[in-house]
C-alpha cells in the first residue's frame, strides 16, 4: 500500500520532471531551456524519440509525418507558427485499450496512475526477436509494477532511422499473458509496435489492452541500462481516440 508521503514524493517528482520537460522558454526564461543535458544532470533521462520525418520510423502503412511553418520569423514574418500532421502512433506513443478493444477506453479516459511510478527496464539480447514466456522468465520481472523492454531496436539505433525494420523484437502472446496475469500496470518497448510484424491476429495487444494495460511503444532507450527506474510517460490528451504521442522520462531508482 502506498503511503501519503510516497504519494507526495511522486507528486513532487512528476511536477519537477514535467516542469523541466514541458514549460515554454518564456515561462523558464531563455537561459533555462530544458536541454537533454539538463535532464540528465537532474537525474532524469529523456526516453522520447524526436519526431522528425528524416529520422523517425513510420510503421508500414501508417500516416506520414509532415511539419511545416505557416509563418517564419527567419523569412521576415512577425512570428513563427507551425502546423503538424502525423499519425497517433508516431514516435514514442501510447496505445489505449480502444486501439484493439471495441469498447475500450480512449486515450483521454485512461487513468494517469499507470503512467507515473516505478518501472523495470529489461535488456533483451540482440539475437532475440520474440520475447516469449521462456525469454521473459530468463529475467527478473516479477514484482515489478511496470515493465519496459530494451531490445535489438535500441542496440541498432532503429528509433533514429527513418527506415522501417520489419524484424523488430516483439512481445509474444504468451509473455503478454504472463504480464497481464501478474497485474503489471504498463508495458513498454523500444520500437513502434509491441506486436510481431505480420501477425495473423493482434493477440498481444488484445491481451494487454483487454486488461486495461496501456502499451508504450517507440521508447528511446539507447543510453538506458537495465534496472529499476522512476517513470513518467504522459500522452497528449486527445478526446475519443485510441492513442497519442507521449513524452517519456526515466530516473534511476536508488536502492
Q: How many CA atoms lie within 13 A of 94 on its CB side?
A: 29
Reported in sequence order, the residue ranges of the chain that DSSP labels E, i.e. its strands, are: 44-46, 66-71, 81-85, 93-95, 116-123, 130-131, 146-150, 170-171, 186-189, 215-217, 227-235, 243-252
Identify whether the C-beta of residue 202 lies closer than 8 Å to the C-beta of residue 32: no
Give bridge partners of residue 187 from the DSSP assignment: 147, 215
Residues forming the active site: 99
Phi, psi of 190, deg, nearest 5: -100, 25
Contacts of 127 (CB under 8 A, 6+ apart): 152
Amino acid at each position: 500500500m502506498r503511503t501519503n508521503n510516497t504519494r507526495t514524493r511522486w507528486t513532487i517528482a512528476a511536477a519537477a520532471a514535467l516542469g523541466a520537460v514541458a514549460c515554454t522558454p518564456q515561462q523558464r526564461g531563455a537561459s533555462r531551456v530544458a536541454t537533454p543535458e539538463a535532464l540528465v544532470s537532474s537525474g532524469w533521462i529523456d526516453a522520447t524519440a524526436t519526431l522528425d520525418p528524416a529520422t523517425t520510423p513510420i510503421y508500414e502503412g501508417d500516416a506520414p509525418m509532415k511539419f511545416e511553418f505557416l509563418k517564419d520569423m527567419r523569412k521576415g514574418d512577425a512570428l513563427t507558427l507551425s502546423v503538424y500532421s502525423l499519425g497517433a502512433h508516431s514516435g514514442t506513443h501510447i496505445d489505449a485499450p480502444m486501439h484493439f478493444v471495441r469498447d475500450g477506453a480512449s486515450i483521454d479516459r485512461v487513468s494517469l496512475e499507470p503512467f507515473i511510478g516505478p518501472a523495470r527496464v529489461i535488456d533483451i539480447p540482440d539475437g532475440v526477436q520474440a520475447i516469449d514466456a521462456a525469454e521473459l522468465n530468463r529475467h527478473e520481472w516479477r514484482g515489478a509494477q511496470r515493465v519496459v523492454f530494451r531490445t535489438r531496436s535500441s542496440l541498432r539505433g532503429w528509433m533514429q532511422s527513418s527506415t522501417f525494420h520489419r524484424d523488430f523484437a516483439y512481445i509474444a502472446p504468451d509473455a503478454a499473458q504472463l504480464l497481464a496475469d501478474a497485474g503489471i500496470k504498463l508495458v513498454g518497448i523500444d520500437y513502434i509496435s509491441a506486436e510481431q510484424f505480420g501477425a495473423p491476429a493482434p493477440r498481444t495487444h488484445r491481451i494487454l489492452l483487454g486488461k486495461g494495460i496501456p502499451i508504450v511503444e517507440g521508447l528511446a532507450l539507447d543510453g538506458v541500462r537495465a534496472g529499476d527506474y522512476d517513470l513518467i510517460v504522459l500522452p497528449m490528451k486527445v478526446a475519443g481516440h485510441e492513442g497519442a504521442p507521449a513524452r517519456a522520462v526515466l530516473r534511476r531508482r536508488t536502492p
